[in-house]
Amino acid sequence: MTIEKYRHPILFYSLATIIPWLFWFAAGYLSHIPSSNNLYVVVASILGFLGLLGPMVIAFSMILPDQELRGDLFNRLFSMKKIKPIYLFLTFFLMLISILLAQAISLLFGYSIDQFKLSGGTFTAGIFSVWFVLIIAPIIEELAWHTYGTDCLRKRFSLFKTSIMFAVFWAIWHFPLSGIKGYYQANLVESWIYSLNFAVSLIPYVLLMNWLYYKTNRNIFVAIVFHISAGFFNEIFLTHPDSKIIQTLLLLLLTIIIVIRERKFFFQQEYPE
């Protein structure tokens, strides 16, 4: 099987952590230096973007020299064969449904209906617009996580273990972004409960994303769209942060149901032929 050739998880995840962190810690330092001409903001933004590119560059450097892996990458990027419509529907709309339902539930606890109004974005990204980041960042990330990163773990572990391990890694991987002024993660650290919710939310989110990814024959496009939808729909409305906690609970409940119903799919050690 081709997945057997994704065999360097330690190398991949080590480099995919060290390289972005070097850029992001530098960006965080510069972002807090006062500047009359915004020079430091520009440099910090560029460093932040270069850090984001790191894991993708690492993944492609491991894939492209191997002809079989190149073919596997091409097929998973552009092939939409044998994908059931239900999985495509969930890919595009699950996160939208979950945030709208969470906001609706919050109304029962006295939260404002203004949450359903459109937002201009709740964070900054230096010289890049919020909406640019919400589209481009998921594409770049998934061209690392679901080209090489997920499969090199799944080769060795069950889908459940793979997803939990990656969720923990991903929460830690975001840590330096909390030091970059104005970034989403920097806003989160102002409240421990919202920071905790972000970390916890990654567990059902990754399990659901990987469930869709493997149900659609390791389709990278599916992972990209699901990632974009998560960020975009959670920012497009004036959602109260407490509603995002409700959303996490809803996604946890859905994930538990799916995992129980598809125990073999999540817990079998061997990757299915």
Smallest CA-to-CA distance from 31 within 173, 185, 137 is with: 185
Q: Which of 142, 174, 227, 235 is flagged as catalytic?
A: 174
Helices 220-235, 192-215: crossing angle, 10 deg rounding: 150
Q: Which of 141, 142, 146, 227 is catalytic?
A: 141
Active-site annotation holds for 32 = no
Termini Cα distance of the chain: 7
Active-site residue 174, yes or no? Answer: yes
Query: Is there a contact between 106 and 242 (Cβ–Cβ < 8 Å)?
Result: yes
Task: Specify which residues 118 forms β-bridges with.
Answer: 237
How far apart, in whole angstroms, are the C-alpha atoms of residue 90 and residue 88?
Answer: 5
Tally Cβ neighbours within 10 Å of residue 1: 11
The residues annotated with a catalytic role in the active site are 141, 174
